[in-house]
């Protein structure tokens, strides 16, 4: 895929020249430019971290990384790129200019009463907004589409779109900022964010449960919501294979093995609230009702409620270390899908029928399942077993296969890896309008080429 993409736009775009470097040197101090070209002459290995993705599946060949310090500098860079046919990207697919916003991380203002923070972008906040990854607590705090109140964005021609509003309510026509949330750098560069920040909770607790069968997870979820209500801050699903892998990886067991027995599923529940004793009373009532629940086997086989900050962290690690443990075993194919919660196991089993080692886990409360397929190496035979099978299983664009009417990317986005598969989740009309929107903002196609829409 990488090579096809690269050749497609090579003809349309220019490589970085000495002229470009000279011009960038007039915008930025030399210390803010990395380039293998003279007069900068950065050693090529210093550009490696910008050219590699962490899964080591893609390698770019960028020869120029720019680190602007202000919105104006970002604007000046893009004006030049637009005029000269240079392309700008996040992780390059080929030889794009990489624009790194690590130098722009100051807080512009913070209102402690309303909890509104205006920030010059840091790589974390701007990147989060542009990728719109949901994370572990979306179930409590909602998505960035709700909490981002305003954005400042440098458009591909250098124009600054200034919508750094801090208004909670503003129903004045089209909400342009929403287009940039999750746009993966394809429409503009986010240089400022105003965002609603809830106060950090005074008290947090968590609890890990083992459940005899997958069907019990939905019952536990229902009970957790009714007992915990607004203090529920995470509800995570871990299948048996994922749990066993983390136990092997860490050499630890979170729960009593004799109680866990043949349990098929695990659930991690977190609460965040204002008063520890109130939250604990609610959690204990939940546990009581879980143990008391009737049915042939009961709803849970064992449960541990954390008793200390250390145990709180240990219980979380059984969920958070799954991806790391998988990456230690082999090469990992990752799918990040939205399907009805009742179907998590069915989907995982369907993939398991095609390849050997599959982990199913994720953000149950959000209907977001992570499938990690572990293989000895990335290989065509595994690619063929997985694709288009997984997309046809999940996607809705092809009604014949689209049994789950799900999303092929719940939170990780489309990027370069899934651009060819967008049609499984977005219909013809949606894709046509996405293309038109891309062209309105970036008619020269200089922003993150090859990503999201081909
Ligand atoms: C998570 O929820 C992350 O742990 C990563 O979204 C999931 O690596 C993955 O597949
Ligand atoms: Zn996730």
CATH 3.20.20.70 fits 107-196, yes or no: no
Q: Which atom of ligand 1 is nearest to the CA of 133?
A: 6
Distance in angstroms (rounded) separating the CA atoms of residues 402 and 406: 8
Percent of the chain residues topping a pLDDT of 90:
78
The average confidence (pLDDT) of the chain is 91
Tell whether ligand 1 has an atom less than 6 A from the beta carbon of residue 215.
no
Q: Which DSSP string corresponds to 298-354?
A: -S-SEEEE--SHHHHHHHHHHHHTHHHHHHHHSEEEEEEEE--GGGHHHHHHHHHTT
CA of 350 to the centre of ligand 2 (A): 20
pLDDT at 119: 63
Model confidence, pTM:
0.92
Q: Write out pLDDT tens, residues 112-149.
A: 888 777 766 445 688 889 999 888 999 999 999 999 99
pLDDT at 124: 66
> Angle at the Cα of 191 (from 436 to 101), degrees rounded to 5?
110
pLDDT at 53: 77
> Closest Cα to residue 297, out of 210, 209, 212?
212
CA of 138 to the centre of ligand 2 (A): 10
pLDDT at 3: 44
pLDDT at 292: 85
Q: Which atom of ligand 1 is nearest to the CA of 335?
A: 10
pLDDT at 251: 96
Q: Is residue 300 within 8 Å of residue 209, measured between CB atoms? A: yes
Q: Write out pLDDT tens, residues 404-448.
A: 789 999 999 999 999 999 999 999 999 999 999 999 999 999 999
Distance in angstroms (rounded) separating the CA atoms of residues 426 and 316: 34
Q: How confident is the model at residue 396 (pLDDT cuts 50, 70, 90)?
A: low
pLDDT at 10: 47
CA of 137 to the centre of ligand 2 (A): 10
More confident residue, 439 or 60: 439
pLDDT at 296: 56
| CATH 3.30.70.2190-classified regions of the chain | 203-319
Any idea which of 73-82, 226-235, 401-410, 428-437 has the lowest mean pLDDT? Answer: 401-410
3-state helix vs strand vs coil in the chain, percent to 5 = 40, 20, 40
Tell whether ligand 1 has an atom less than 6 A from the beta carbon of residue 137.
no
Domain at 330-441: CATH architecture: 2-Layer Sandwich (3.30)
Which CATH topology does 203-319 take? Alpha-Beta Plaits (3.30.70)
> Closest Cα to residue 322, out of 372, 396, 382?
372
Q: Which atom of ligand 1 is nearest to the CA of 334?
A: 10
What is the DSSP-derived secondary structure letter of residue 413? -
pLDDT at 113: 84
Q: Which of 237, 362, 409, 411 for a ligand 1 pocket mutation test, highest count of atoms within 8 Å of Cβ?
A: 362
CA of 122 to the centre of ligand 2 (A): 21
Task: Provide the token pair at 416.
Answer: 């370069």
| Class for the domain spanning 2-99 | alpha beta
27: Cβ contacts below 8 Å, ≥ 6 apart: 68, 73, 76, 77, 80
CA of 28 to the centre of ligand 1 (A): 37
Q: Which of 322, 407, 417 for a ligand 1 pocket mutation test, highest count of atoms within 8 Å of Cβ?
A: 322
| H or E segment and range at residue 38 | none
Q: Write out pLDDT tens, residues 242-261.
A: 999 999 999 999 999 999 99
The answer, yes or no, to whether residue 6 has pLDDT greater than 50, is no
**Beta sheet of 148-154, edge-to-edge order:** 107-111, 116-120, 189-196, 148-154, 160-163
CA of 319 to the centre of ligand 1 (A): 10
pLDDT at 105: 81
pLDDT at 14: 87
Tell whether ligand 1 has an atom less than 6 A from the beta carbon of residue 370.
yes
| CATH 3.30.465.10-classified regions of the chain | 107-196
Q: Which atom of ligand 1 is nearest to the CA of 336?
A: 10
Q: Write out pLDDT tens, residues 180-226.
A: 999 999 999 999 999 999 988 999 999 999 999 999 999 999 999 99
Tell whether ligand 1 has an atom less than 6 A from the beta carbon of residue 372.
yes
Task: Provide the token pair at 271.
Answer: 């609460």
CA of 318 to the centre of ligand 1 (A): 13
Section 27-52 average pLDDT: 95
CA of 268 to the centre of ligand 1 (A): 15
Q: Is residue 425 within 8 Å of residue 407, measured between CB atoms? A: yes
Section 294-321 average pLDDT: 90
| CATH 3.30.43.10-classified regions of the chain | 2-99
Q: How confident is the model at residue 163 (pLDDT cuts 50, 70, 90)?
A: very high
Q: Which of 410, 412, 413 for a ligand 1 pocket mutation test, highest count of atoms within 8 Å of Cβ?
A: 412
């Amino acid at each position: 895929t990488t090579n096809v993409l690269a050749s497609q736009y090579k003809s349309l775009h220019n490589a970085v020249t000495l002229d470009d470097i000279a011009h960038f040197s007039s915008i930025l101090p030399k210390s803010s430019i990395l380039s293998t070209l003279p007069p900068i002459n950065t050693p090529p290995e210093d550009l490696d971290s910008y050219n590699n993705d962490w899964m080591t599946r893609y390698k770019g060949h960028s020869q120029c990384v720019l680190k602007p310090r202000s919105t104006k500098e970002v604007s000046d860079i893009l004006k030049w790129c637009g005029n000269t046919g240079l392309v700008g990207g996040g992780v390059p697919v080929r030889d794009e200019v990489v624009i790194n916003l690590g130098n722009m991380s100051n807080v512009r203002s913070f209102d402690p009463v309303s909890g509104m923070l205006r920030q010059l972008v840091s790589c974390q906040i701007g990147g989060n907004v542009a990728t719109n990854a949901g994370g572990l607590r979306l179930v409590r705090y909602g998505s960035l589409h709700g909490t981002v109140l305003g954005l400042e964005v440098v458009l591909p021609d250098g124009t600054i779109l200034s919508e750094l509003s801090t208004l909670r309510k503003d129903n004045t026509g089209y909400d342009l900022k929403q287009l940039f949330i999750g746009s993966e750098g394809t429409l503009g560069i986010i240089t400022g964010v105003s965002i609603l920040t809830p106060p950090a909770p005074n008290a947090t607790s968590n609890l890990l449960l083992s459940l005899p069968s997958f069907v019990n997870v939905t019952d536990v979820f229902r009970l957790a919501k009714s007992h915990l209500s607004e203090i529920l801050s995470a509800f995570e699903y871990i299948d048996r294979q994922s749990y066993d892998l983390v136990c092997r990886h860490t050499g630890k067991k979170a729960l009593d093995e004799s109680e866990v027995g043949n349990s098929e599923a695990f659930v991690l529940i977190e609460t965040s609230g204002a008063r520890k004793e109130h939250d604990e009373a609610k959690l204990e009532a939940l546990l009581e009702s879980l143990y008391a629940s009737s049915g042939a086997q009961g709803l849970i086989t064992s449960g541990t409620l954390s008793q200390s900050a250390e145990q709180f962290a240990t219980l979380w690690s059984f969920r958070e270390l799954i991806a790391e443990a998988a990456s230690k075993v082999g090469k990992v194919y990752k799918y990040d899908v939205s399907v009805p919660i009742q179907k998590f196991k069915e989907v995982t089993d369907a993939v398991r029928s095609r390849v050997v080692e599959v982990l199913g886990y994720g953000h149950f409360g959000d209907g977001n399942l992570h499938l990690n397929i572990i293989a000895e190496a990335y290989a065509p035979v595994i690619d063929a077993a997985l694709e288009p099978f997984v997309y046809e299983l999940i996607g809705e664009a092809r009604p014949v296969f689209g049994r789950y009417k799900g999303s092929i990317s719940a939170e990780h986005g489309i990027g370069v890896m899934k651009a060819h598969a967008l049609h499984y989740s977005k219909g013809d009309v949606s894709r046509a309008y996405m293309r038109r929107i891309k062209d309105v903002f970036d008619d020269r196609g200089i922003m993150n080429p090859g990503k999201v829409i081909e």
